[in-house]
Chain A
Amino acid sequence: DSGVTQTPKHLITATGQRVTLRCSPRSGDLSVYWYQQSLDQGLQFLIQYYNGEERAKGNILERFSAQQFPDLHSELNLSSLELGDSALYFCASSVRGQTNSPLHFGNGTRLTVT
């Protein structure tokens, strides 16, 4: 168990809808990262937060947004969903914002857009 908790585990929704994915980092970790992994694709970095502030952006669509709350949990909001957004979404956490410590991943949210 990595200590990173993601909910829900599965989400099925229709095109055009909006969903929110939730992540609780490991105790003591201040930094949260979001990744997307499509079928047979590698991990695509979306966005990073450190102690409530956005630290880095990757290939995140304008329809997607995220935030990190004072209790350090994070939410990823996906709107105007398209079929191509179906994927596994992972949250990972690390101790600090810029550190060479490893990321610890949750077990993901599997999003299916129909």
Chain B
Amino acid sequence: EDQVTQSPEALRLQEGESSSLNCSYTVSGLRGLFWYRQDPGKGPEFLFTLYSAGEEKEKERLKATLTKKESFLHITAPKPEDSATYLCAVYTPTSGTYKYIFGTGTRLKVLA
């Protein structure tokens, strides 16, 4: 069964304390992996797309990487405004069509 698992479920960091969020996936074929940021009561905001193992993307304090089984979202020297839930999703073929499968997210809290 296609599955996307994110860990940890929740993470508390001090401002400036770097860390990584994990997104592991078990799918029949990966056509793309996406990272989103979601603030409370808002829609997910697109951050990155990764298409193949070894690919990396960066934006400000965030860096996303991809292997054949998982993706990491590295947060360098986070600030309180980075507090949010981070979601990953994979795009994969299934039953003659394609679908997006979302993980349940990592809730990140950065303390000043």
Contacts and interface: CB of A to CB of B under 8 A. Distances in A.
Q: Chain A interface residue count: which class?
A: 20 to 34
B61 interface: no
A41 B102 CA distance: 11
Interface string B83-112: 000010101000001111011110000000
Contacts of A43: 44, 87, 102
Interface of B: 31-32, 34, 36, 41-46, 49, 51, 87, 89, 91, 97-100, 102-105
B110 to A, nearest CB: 20
Nearest to B107: A40
B42 A107 contact: yes
Interface of B, secondary structure class, is: strand
Interface stretch (A11-19, A66-74, A78-86, A97-105): A97-105
A102 B36 CA distance: 10
Contacts of B51: 100
Interface of A: 2, 4, 6, 33, 41-43, 45, 55-56, 58, 88, 90, 92, 98, 100-108, 110
